Amino acid sequence: MSPLRSLRLIVAALPDGGRRRLGVLALATIAGGLFEFALLAALVMLIRRWLDGGGAEGAALLFVAAALAAGAIRFALLVLTQRLAFDTGHRLIVAVQRRVLARDWPTHVAARTSGPLAAIDFAEQWLFSALLPLLQAAGALVLAVGILAGLLWLDAPAALAAAGVLSLLFVASNLLVRGRLRRAGDELGDGFENRIAAVQEHVGAMRELILGGARGQAAERFRRIDARLADARTALLTAQGVPRILVESLGLVVLALVAWWLAGREGGLAAALPTLAALGLGAQRLLPLLQQVNQSYNALASTGAIQERMAALLAEPDLDLSPPPPALPFATEIRLEDVTFRYPGRDEPALAGIDLLIRRGERIALAGPNGSGKSTLADLVMGLLQPSHGQVLIDGTPLSRDLTPAWQRNVAHVPQSPFVADTTLLANIAFMDPSPDTRRVLDAVRLAGLDELVAMLPDGLATRVGDRGQLLSGGQRQRLALARALYRPAPLLVLDEATSALDPGSEAHVLSALDGLQERGTTILLIAHRDTMMAGCDRVVRLKSGRLA
């Protein structure tokens, strides 16, 4: 993907408000260029009045007014640029997260877990290293054109000579560092994602690192990853600074040569004084602007890899924020007809030729050895996966991709390894509910067998459970996940080894809760290995090697 195409994709992801702000900034920048031209013209007029011995009061007032106006517009440009840049960065980060949340289940599972976190780092890196310099460069370029126009109006040969030599210096210095900038940018893109992945691995595998005595090896591996990232940043900043140093050093020599040439023309130094003054002021204002343009070019070259990754993510489908559809009617049955499912990149299907009927209100256990396809079958029933062949029907209606969101409003799920947020018990049970219903929370707590734990805690439901629920036991985390599923009344409850960490007494409590749910008409599909969990089921569906046994 070319840099310009990736940049267009990123800009296209911005809401209309961001593009309107960009237009306001462009108008202010053009006004700034005009005032820079006026400032040079006023300076030349002032110096000529002084040299002619005439009254310079009017010219002085004009120069002061032009200087103040140019300064005011520069300040306005600074404010507008910063606001637009950070507002754009905010909108991009939100847009990235919306696309991550919009991914379907197979895409989510296949993606590297550090990718979404790295995407936020990429957005911030792109903001500071590319977008902000780019906006500043756009303003600087217009201001530079205004200054250059003033110099050309004053003395075209001198202005063209100085501008030509400075342009050659910029081009030569950029050619010198272009390859290094691109390599450093690629290394930065990989480095951010690898560093986040390493931290995630350390946090998730801390128990194994402690027991295996491998914390030293983990620290050394992280040191190597971060050292490569630091080397890439050093190389990047060094390469970006080379053109500035060359132009600043040799630019002074160029200006001195132009001054010497002007002084040697007819009229001598006195006649050249207005031009020299204008060139001096122009150079004082022009060189930083040209350096800004150059730095922006280098930044875009060095952040190409990051920009491409962001553009690729922003090219994914956006999250649909329209109100959720009403639940798909589910009155009689779920039917799987000749269902086959094959995971991408796999030769053998995970499921093949499955014909299964699940009646409303039934409790069905899925049993079989590990890898037999139980969880895949449950994911197909929940609409997380689409069959490679065959179809899933709800009351005779094929479960298409378009109907899946409506069907999933009927589904509550309890995973074997539940996600627990670092917040309170209440917030974990009423997950993502902005206005939790306390009565429903308490009912779910009672049905899941968490009421004794809540009663023992000094803060009750307001107790924080720690990162990933580390202040709870494995069984308590599973019961919390069950309470979360029960809080959301749904006609289909799917449990994936949801009692594997429970003691016999807690498991009996859960079984009693399932009996009560089934009496109310809830359809229950559970994946289980324990005979006690299968004993209360209406049927046990056994799988072997992806087929019904």
Distance (Å, whole) CA 301 – CA 4: 11
Residues 352 and 209 grouped into a single domain? no
Is residue 324, in this structure, part of any structural domain at all?
A: no
Cα dist from 284 to 72, 180, 201, 247, whole Å: 18, 30, 52, 13
Residues 467 and 515 grouped into a single domain? yes
Residues 452 and 305 grouped into a single domain? no
Give the residue among 348, 331, 341 at the shortest CA–CA distance from 381: 341
* Strand ranges of the sheet holding 411-414, from the earlier edge strand across to the other edge: 411-414, 492-496, 523-527, 363-367, 539-544, 547-548
Tell me what pLDDT residue 275 has: 62
Q: Is the C-alpha dihedral spanning 376, 380, 382, 386 positive or negative?
A: positive
Residues 352 and 305 grouped into a single domain? no
Is residue 541, in this structure, part of any structural domain at all?
A: yes
Return the structure tokens found at 445. 């707590």
DSSP string, 227-294: HHHHHHHHHHHHHHHHHHHHHHHHHHHHHHHHHHHHHTSTTHHHHHHHHHHHHHHHHHHHHHHHHHHH
Tell me what pLDDT residue 277 has: 62
Cα dist from 316 to 95, 102, 133, 312, whole Å: 10, 9, 27, 7
Tell me what pLDDT residue 86 has: 76
Q: Is 375 exposed, middle or buried (0-12, 13-18, 19+ CB in 10 A)?
A: buried
Kindly report the CATH number assigned to the domain that includes residue 478. Answer: 3.40.50.300
Is residue 103, in this structure, part of any structural domain at all?
A: yes
Q: Is the C-alpha dihedral spanning 5, 11, 15, 20 positive or negative?
A: negative
Residues 197 and 143 grouped into a single domain? yes
Is residue 326, in this structure, part of any structural domain at all?
A: no
Residues 451 and 492 grouped into a single domain? yes
Tell me what pLDDT residue 331 has: 95
Residues 193 and 304 grouped into a single domain? yes
Return the structure tokens found at 145. 């054109």
Counting the structural domains of the chain, the total is: 2
Tell me what pLDDT residue 338 has: 96
Is residue 34, in this structure, part of any structural domain at all?
A: yes
Tell me what pLDDT residue 290 has: 65
pTM for the whole structure:
0.70
Residues 272 and 383 grouped into a single domain? no
Residues 289 and 170 grouped into a single domain? yes
Do residues 137 and 145 make contact, with C-beta atoms less than 8 angstroms apart? no
Which backbone phi and psi does 397 adopt, to 5 degrees? -95, 125
Is residue 322, in this structure, part of any structural domain at all?
A: no
Cα dist from 507 to 373, 450, 476, 499, 518, whole Å: 24, 12, 11, 6, 16
- pLDDT lower than 50: segments of the chain: none
DSSP three-state, residue 400: coil
Residues 236 and 276 grouped into a single domain? yes
Q: Which domain holds residue 8?
A: 3-314
Is residue 323, in this structure, part of any structural domain at all?
A: no
Kindly report the CATH number assigned to the domain that includes residue 40. Answer: 1.20.1560.10
* Strand ranges of the sheet holding 389-394, from the earlier edge strand across to the other edge: 351-359, 333-341, 389-394, 397-398
Distance (Å, whole) CA 468 – CA 473: 11
Tell me what pLDDT residue 354 has: 96
Tell me what pLDDT residue 51 has: 57
Please report which helix (H) or strand (E) contains residue 62, including its range.
helix 57-102
Tell me what pLDDT residue 286 has: 63
Which tens digits make up the pLDDT trace of 65-114?
Answer: 777 777 777 777 777 777 777 777 778 878 888 888 888 888 887 777 66
% of residues, the chain, pLDDT over 70: 71
Tell me what pLDDT residue 270 has: 57
Cα dist from 238 to 106, 241, 242, 302, 451, whole Å: 42, 5, 7, 12, 61
Residues 149 and 250 grouped into a single domain? yes
Please give the span between the terminal C-alpha atoms of the chain, in angstroms, as a whole number. Answer: 49
Tell me what pLDDT residue 120 has: 75
Residues 391 and 481 grouped into a single domain? yes
Is residue 77, in this structure, part of any structural domain at all?
A: yes
Q: Is 201 exposed, middle or buried (0-12, 13-18, 19+ CB in 10 A)?
A: middle
